[in-house]
Amino acid sequence: MPWFGMDIGGTLCKLVYFEPKDITIDEANAEVETLKNIRRYLTKNSAYGKTGHRDAHLQMDNVRIRGRRGTLHFIRFPTSEMGNFLALAKSKGMANLVTSVCATGGGAFKFEENFQKEVNMNLAKFDELDSLIRGMLYIETTNPHECYYWSDPTDDNKCQKVPFDFSEPYPFLLVNIGSGVSILAVYGPENYKRISGTSLGGGTFLGLCCLLTGCNTFEEAIELATGGDNTRVDKLVKDIYGGDYGPFGLPGDLVASSFGQMNSTERRNAVTKEDLARATLVTITNNIGSIARMCAVNEKIERVVFVGNFLRVNPISMKLLAYAMDYWSKGTLKALFLEHEGYFGAVGCLLQFNGKAVDSVEGVDTTKMNREQLEVYAHKILEELEREREERNFFQIERDKLRTFWEITRHQLDEARAQGRNKEREKEELAEKHEAELKLYKQKVKHLTYEHQTNLSETKAEHSVALKLAQDDHAAQENELINDKSELKKLQKEQELAYMNEIRALKLRHSEETNNMTRKLESEAAELEQKYEQKLSSQYEWLTLKHRMETTEVEERKNAQIANLLKNHENAFTEMKNYYNEITLNNLSLIKSMKEQMDATKRNEERAKKQARELTADNEKRSAELKVARENAAELARQLANYENNKQCLANTKRRLAAVMRDLENLKWENEVLELRFEKCQSERDELHSRFVSAILELQQKTGLKNALLEKKLEKLYNLWEQREAEIGGEASVRARSDSATTTKTKEKSQVRRKTIKREIRPHHSFPSISFCFFSFLLSGHAKKERGRKMATRIDEQRTKRTFTSQLSREASQARVKHEG
C-alpha cells in the first residue's frame, strides 16, 4: 500500500509520499497493477495538472521510515484544489488500496467528510504542532545540510547560504509561517509550548497582492516583488529625519511607516505593481520578524528557526529576517532556515502513523458486527468481487490491445531508427564536404594575410617619411611661436607701465574729488544742523504756548465747575435743612441702609484709589519707555557719520516726537476718560441723593424714635467722618503741594462747612444733621479726590514735556559735537 502523509493548511496542501526501495521479490509479485500505476504517476511526473507540483530538488533518497528504506517525495497543491485531488485519487483507484491516510492541519478536520464521501477514506488525524516538531527533527537528523543561515544578507555580492550545525538544537524558537504564524518555544522533543502568533502571514501576503496587483498565485506575487522597490511605497526614517536617527540608532533606510507614501496622489500614480508587491512582502516580513524577536528576548532563546511555505522561493523574506535578527539583537540572535520549509508537518504525521489506526474492511468497521451482518456484508463483498473480476477481464483485454499497439509502435520505431541511420550517413558526408571547404578557405585566408602584411609594410614606410616631414614643419612653427611670445611679453610690459601711470593719475584725481565732496558735505551738515535747531526752538515755543493756553482753559473750567458746585450745594443744603427739621427718625432699618451706603462709598473710594495707582504705574511705564527711546536716539546719534545718517537721524527724531505727541494725546484722552468717570460718580451721587430724599419723604410719616440712641450713633459717625476727612485732606495736601492756593481755599471751605454742620447738629440733635454731615462728607471726599487726580495728571504732563525737550536738546548737542569731531 502507498504511504502518504498530508498537511492540509489554509492556503496550501503538502503531501509526502514514501516510496519503499527494499521491495522483495514476493512483494513485487504480490503488488497490484493499480499500485504500480500510482507509483509511476507520482514519481515520473513533476507537475500534476495546472496547480500540483512535485519539488524534485527536495527529494530525499535512502531514508528509513518504520523499518523500511526508500525515497521521500514532496508534493504540493493549493487547498482550494482539494476537490480535484480527490477526483484524481478516485480515478487512479487509490480508494481500493488504502482505507486510511494520516493527516494534520486544520484541513484534516475540514475535509474529513469529503474524504469519506468521495474516496471512502478515513483520516488518521495528528496534532499539527507535534507533527511539525517531529518532522523537523527527523529531516534535520537525516539530511546533514538541512539547516543553514544567510551571511551578509544585505550585500548581494557576498550573500550566501552557510550550513549550520544543529546537532544540539535545544532550546530554540520555531516560527512556522503558513497562512498565519505560530511561534513555539521548544525545549525538548516533547517539551514545547506555543507562546505567540499573528494572523499576518503568507495568506495575508498573497491576498493583499492579489487585491493590489491582480496576480493569482504565490509564485507570481514573489516574482513581482523581486522586481519592485518598497522605498517608493513605504516611508523611511530618512524621509522623516533627513538621514539616520542617531539617538535611538535607527538607520535612514529603515521602514518607519509601511505604505506611508501612499497618502500622496502623485506617489500613488507613480508606483507600480512590482513596488506594491515588494512593499507588501516587506511589511509582512517585518511584522513577523519583530514578533519573533520579542518572543526570543522574552524567552531568553538565542536561536530562531523559521519554517513554512511562505519562505519557499522567497529569498527576500529570508534575508530580511536574517538581517533584522542580527541587527536589532546586536548579533546575539541568529535566524536559521531549513531546506524543506513547509513539509515538516506532513513528514511528522507520516512518522506517527503505524498503519493500524482503523480496524476495517473497505472502510467499514467489522469489529462490532454480528454473524447475520457479517454474512450480508460477505455477500456484498462477493458481488463486489465479481464486479472486480469483470473489470479485471476488461483490463486484460485492454492490456492485449496495448501490447498490440506496442508491437506496432516498436515496428514504427525500427523504421524511424533506420531513417535516423540514413540521416547520420548523410551528416557524415556533409561533414567531409565541410572539412574540404574549410581547408580551401584557410588557404585563401593565408594568401590574404600575406597580402595584408605586404601592404602594411609599404604603408608604414610612407607614413614614416610623412611623419619626419611633419616633425620638421612642427619645429619651424615652434620657433616662430617662441619669437612671437617674446615680442608679446615686451608689449605686455609696456602696456603695464602705461596702465600704472594712468592708475596713479586717477588716484590723485579721486583724492581731490573726495576732499571736495567732504568739505561740501560738512557745510551742508552744518546748515542742516542750524535749520534743525531753529525748527526745534520754534516747535518748543509753540508747544509751550499751546500747553499754557490749554492749562488756562482747564483752570477756568475747573473754577467755573467749583463755583457751580458750591452754588448747587448751598441750594441743596437749604432745601435739605427745611426737610430735615421736620423729620424724626424711629426706624433702625434706615441706619442699616446708611451703613450699606457708607460701605458702597468706601468701595467707590477704593476703586478710585486703584485707578489713581494704575495711572501712576502707567506714567512710570511710559517714562521708562521714553527713557529707552532716548537711549536708542543717543545710540543712533553716535552712529551719525555723513549726510545720509544725519537725514536718517532727523527723520527718527521726528518720528519719536510724533510718538511722544501721540502719547500726550493718549494721556489727554485718559484725562478725559477720568473726567467722564468723575461725572459718572456725580451722577451716582445725585442718584443716591434722590433715593435718600425719597426715603426721607417716606420717613416723614414715621416718628417716635429715641433721640438719645441716635445721639450716640451720631457721635460715632461724626468721629468717623472727622477721621476720614483728616486722611483725605492729608492725601490731597501731599498730591497738590504745587497748587497751595487752591488747597487753602478748599480747607477754608471745608472748615466753614464743618462749623456750619456743627452749628446745625448741636442745637437740634436731630436726624437731618446726620444726613447733612454724611452728604457733605461725600461731596468733600469726591471733590478732593478729583482735584488731586487732575493736579497729578497736570504735573506728570509738565514733567514729560520738560524731560522730552531737554532730551532733544542734549541729542542735538551730541550730534553737533560728533560732527565737529
Residues involved in catalysis: 128
CB–CB of 342/309 below 8 Å?
Answer: yes
Candidates 651, 675, 639, 670; CA nearest to 800 is 670
Give the CA count within 13 Å in the CB-facing half-sphere of 175.
31
What whole-number distance in Å separates Cα of residue 56 and Cα of residue 50?
A: 17
Q: Can you list the pairs that 427-431 forms with residues at least 24 positions away whose Cβ atoms lie under 8 Å?
A: none
What whole-number distance in Å separates Cα of residue 322 and Cα of residue 286?
A: 11
Candidates 189, 199, 290, 165; CA nearest to 10 is 199
CB–CB of 604/681 below 8 Å?
Answer: yes
Strands 334-338 and 303-307: parallel
Q: CA quadruple 356, 359, 360, 365: dihedral positive or negative? A: negative
Q: Where is 194: in which H helix or E strand?
A: strand 192-198
Q: How far is CA 747 from CA 53, 566, 729, 736, 794, in A?
A: 121, 14, 8, 12, 21
Ramachandran angles phi, psi of 73, nearest 5°: -110, 140
Candidates 7, 74, 79; CA nearest to 43 is 74
* DSSP SS3 for 235: strand
What whole-number distance in Å separates Cα of residue 17 and Cα of residue 35?
A: 13
What whole-number distance in Å separates Cα of residue 78 and Cα of residue 106?
A: 14
DSSP-assigned letters across all residues of 241-287: HSS-BGGGTB-TTSEEETTGGGGSHHHHHH--HHHHHHHHHHHHHHH
What whole-number distance in Å separates Cα of residue 99 and Cα of residue 16?
A: 17
Ramachandran angles phi, psi of 765, nearest 5°: 55, 45
In 581-642, which ranges are continuous DSSP H helix? 588-638
* DSSP SS3 for 6: strand
Q: Where is 218: in which H helix or E strand?
A: helix 218-226
Q: How far is CA 575 from CA 562, 569, 583, 595, 768, in A?
A: 20, 10, 13, 24, 11
Q: Return the amino acid letter for 560.
A: A
Q: Grid coordinates in use for 300?
A: 531568553
What whole-number distance in Å separates Cα of residue 163 and Cα of residue 360?
A: 46
CB–CB of 175/192 below 8 Å?
Answer: no
CB–CB of 180/10 below 8 Å?
Answer: yes
